[in-house]
Structure 1
Amino acid sequence: MTAALSQMDLPAPRSDSDELAAFCKAAGDPLRLEILRVLHHNAYGVLELSQIFDTGQSGMSHHLKILAKSGLVATRREGNSIFYRRAPAPEDPTRQELQRALFAKIDRLALSTSIQQRIQSVNRERTEASRNFFQQNAERFRVNQDLIASFDQYGEPVTEFLDATPGSRRRVLEVGPGEGGFLPALALRFHEVVALDSSAEMLSRSRQLVDEQQLNNVQLVHGDTAWALEQELRADCITLNMVLHHTPDPAQIFADLAQLLSPGGTMLVTELCHHDQSWARESCGDLWLGFDPEDLSEWAAAAGLSAGESLFLAQRNGFQIQLRQFFKPLTTAGNSR
């Protein structure tokens, strides 16, 4: 009798019609559709979304709860913060078709100028937080970085990865050279090396190494990918070592670099896999606790790049590094975000 009562107390399983109704309810609100549009390529916390849409936190939380219950958004914890992003396609074929059709339609909608400006404002705040960290901690950069993964630990595999990558050796662009550990290897392999960094403090540390080793084919540039686009800079190869987890909008970095990359060119990315060691945010200035390999693949595909080889390196301290290779087709139809 007790067992029978316990079974009666259990909530009834959701039927297909219940799930479809929840899906339609979630998609039946203009604000929720705009939230899904904003979450296309980046993840945001509830306070950031409240700022972007100029609405109260409680109201935003309510909309996110409905979207999460319907399976349209997923959450991911980054330290003490929870970020929302679009959920991956479900396994059920019917739901999968509906979700993909909805997202495809949403992505054709234009965001208002005010929303775009507030997105830029949120991303600027993230960028400023990262710059402030490096400005205040440039002297401790190597010590802090060694807590996660020093260049000495992954530099040789990255160099071997580069040597196995086909393509022109005329110009290479390294984004975020840090203390310049990879610059000597690049200088030996390319006719021209451009090192781009938005942190003047870190760029000065790279300059010390360049001067000491007399790397005469290395040009150090203070700027970001937006500046490089304005200058119409082009490169046959682009490298990023442990950069994406410091950037406010990794998907936009992929989009920018895809434009900077010459047709037939290669982008090599060394990045942390997703982890749960939240101390890295305060100790190392990380905005993100690494990324799933699928994240990088999705951003690359959206930017018109095709994935090549992958290599994963386990570190003794529990971190895992992913080395990824992406190619730009010789001819492109022109992808936009």
Structure 2
Amino acid sequence: MTSMNTYADNLSSVDALAPIFKAGGDPLRLEILRVLRRDTFGVLELSQLFDMRQSGMSHHLKVMNKAGLLEPQREGNAIFYRRPLHLDSDKPTDQTIRQIFEAVDRVPLPPHLQERIEAIRTQRADQSQAFFARHAEQFREQQELIAAFDLYAEPVAEMIRKRSRKHQWQAALEIGPGEGAFLPVLAELCGHVVALDNSRDMLAKATRTCIDERLNNIDLIEGVTDTLLARGDAFDLVVANMVLHHVPSPADIFLDAAALMNNGGCFVISDLCSHDQDWAKANCGDLWLGFEPEELTTWAADAGLVAGEQLFIGLRNGFQIQVREFWKHSGQI
């Protein structure tokens, strides 16, 4: 009887694999999985990427979702698609899905597809940049509709100060400094600080903060992380406070932070947990409605970073903030 039960269980497991291979047995669907490696796209964006009608793309996504190859992610009234966050290493179905991902990831994207992805990212970046250009004077007021600065800045500062007692950090980078309110913390702990922002209006306000606070060890640079990578800059500490939900491709921030950090470097993030407050897009310029903690952990692991301390802060308005640290070398935690 035991052997019969074992045979039935094995047969059931094999049967469960069939829909996965069937759903993945289409070249277009494998291409979709490739572009979802580090990005999240909506149906219209995917239709744009692959130059096909929305109805056809919706069919493919439905089949792949049912097979567990991808999952929907609601962003307000819009639905985006991503690779599944929770894959159990012990389940044959999840092992198979992971192996499919590993196989397609070994094949580089063709240039024309990469160009289309960059075009979508540029559209997103332009949308965010335009918002901050329009609302630079109301920046603090807009941001505090979600969370007051001190609610996340103080825990981040405390985490960094605690780590600085053990590490001799010389150079720090803040991505998206806004008005520059966090720069005094970094200027106190590190000999050289770079503040990087793609909004000229926000950099002007950060410059005023540096003047008022007499911060003489800060370079303010207009640009994106690629700007610093091209210069060959390197940092011991990288900070991004409430920035990820404004950038077109959050996963790329982890890759770029890892590339910009020295060995033993630390990447500290504060950002929103996933939420359903769609008004934040129009009122605060958000591109994404927060992130699952597992998303950040996965993106960090893909970038070769190791997760360290984490803190979750619940707010009265229903939002939750996650404060996370990621290290370039696990032995340095």
TM-score, structure 2 as length reference? 0.92
Preserved CA contact (<8 Å) 1:310 1:323: yes
Q: Contact 1:138–1:201 at 8 Å: present in 2 too?
A: yes
* CA shift digits 1:49-106 (9 cap, x unpaired): 1111111111111110110111111001101110000123544611122111111101
Match of 1:219 in 2: 219
1:270 partnered with 2:270:
yes
Q: Tell me what 1:22 maps to.
A: 19
Whether the aligned pair in 2 keeps the contact of 1:273 and 1:290 (CA below 8 Å) is yes
Q: Give the alignment's Cα RMSD to 1 decimal.
A: 1.4
Equivalent residue, structure 2, for 1:158: 156
2:271 is paired with a residue whose SS is strand
- Structure 1 residue 21, shift from structure 2 partner: 2.6
CA contact (8 A) 1:144 1:284 kept: yes
Q: Which residue of 1 aligns with 2:175?
A: 175
What do the CA deviations read for 1:91-125 (whole angstroms, capped 9, x no partner)? 46111221111111011012111000000000000
Query: 1:308, 1:324 within 8 Å by CA — same for their partners in 2?
Result: yes
Residue in structure 2 matched with residue 288 of structure 1 by the alignment:
288
1:150 to partner: Cα distance: 2.1
Structure 1: which 5+ residue stretches go unaligned?
1-14, 332-337
Q: Which amino acid aligns with 2:327?
A: F
3-state DSSP of counterpart to 2:177: coil
Instruction: State the partner residue of 1:63.
Output: 60
Contact persistence 1:314–1:321 (CA under 8 A): yes
Counterpart contact for 1:276–1:289, Cα < 8 Å? yes
Matched, 1:139 2:143: no
List aligned pairs for 1:65-104, cutoff 5 A. Answer: 65-91=62-88, 93-104=91-102
Aligned residues: 317
Q: SS in structure 1 opposite 2:30?
A: helix
Asked if 2 retains the 8 angstrom alpha-carbon contact of 1:19 and 1:70, the reply is no
The aligned residue for residue 308 of structure 2 is 308
Output the amino acid matched with 1:194.
V
Q: Secondary structure at the match of 2:20?
A: helix
- Cα distance in 2 between the residues matched to 1:28 and 1:125: 32
Secondary structure of 1:321 counterpart: strand
8 Å CA contact 2:306–2:328 kept in 1: the answer is yes
1:20 Cα deviation after fit: 2.6
CA-to-partner distance for each residue in 1:246-285, whole Å, 9 max, x for gaps? 0010111110110000111111111111111111010000
> Secondary structure of 1:194's match?
strand
Q: What is the letter of the counterpart of residue 84 of structure 1? A: Y
Structure 2: how far apart are the matches of 1:110 and 1:135? 36
1:268·1:324 contact (CA, 8 Å) conserved in 2?
yes
Output the amino acid matched with 1:328: K
> Tell me, what secondary structure is at the counterpart of 1:164?
helix
1:89–1:154 distance in 2 versus 1, CA, 3 Å: closer
Task: Identify unmatched segments of 5+ residues in structure 2.
Answer: 1-11
| Whole-angstrom distance in 2 between the partners of 1:168 and 1:140 | 37
Return 127-136 or 321-330, whichever deviates more. Answer: 321-330
Contact 2:85 2:294 in 1 (8 A): no
Q: Which moved more, 1:89-98 or 1:308-317?
A: 89-98
Paired residues of 2:306 and 2:330 also in contact (CA < 8 A):
no
Is 1:125 aligned to 2:107, yes or no?
A: no
SS in 2 for 1:42: coil
Letter in 1 for 2:106: R
**Secondary structure in structure 2 of the residue aligned to 1:172:** strand
1:173-212 mapped onto 2 (5 Å cutoff): 173-212=173-212
Paired residue secondary structure (2:274): coil
TM-score (norm 1): 0.91
Q: What is the identity, as a one-letter code, of the residue corresponding to 2:77? A: N
Comparing 160-169 with 205-214, which one deviates more in the overlay?
160-169
Residue of structure 1 in register with 2:31 after alignment? 34
SS across alignment from 2:209 = helix
Structure 2 distance, partners of 1:114, 1:138, is 36
Q: What amino acid does structure 1 have at the position aligned with 2:175?
A: V
Take 1:167 and 1:83, find their aligned partners in 2: how far apart are those partners? 40
Instruction: Tell me what 1:235 maps to.
Output: 235
Paired letter, 2:230: E
Partners of 2:330 and 2:194 lie apart in 1 by 22
Q: Structure 1: which 4+ aligned runs deviate by more than 6 Å?
A: none
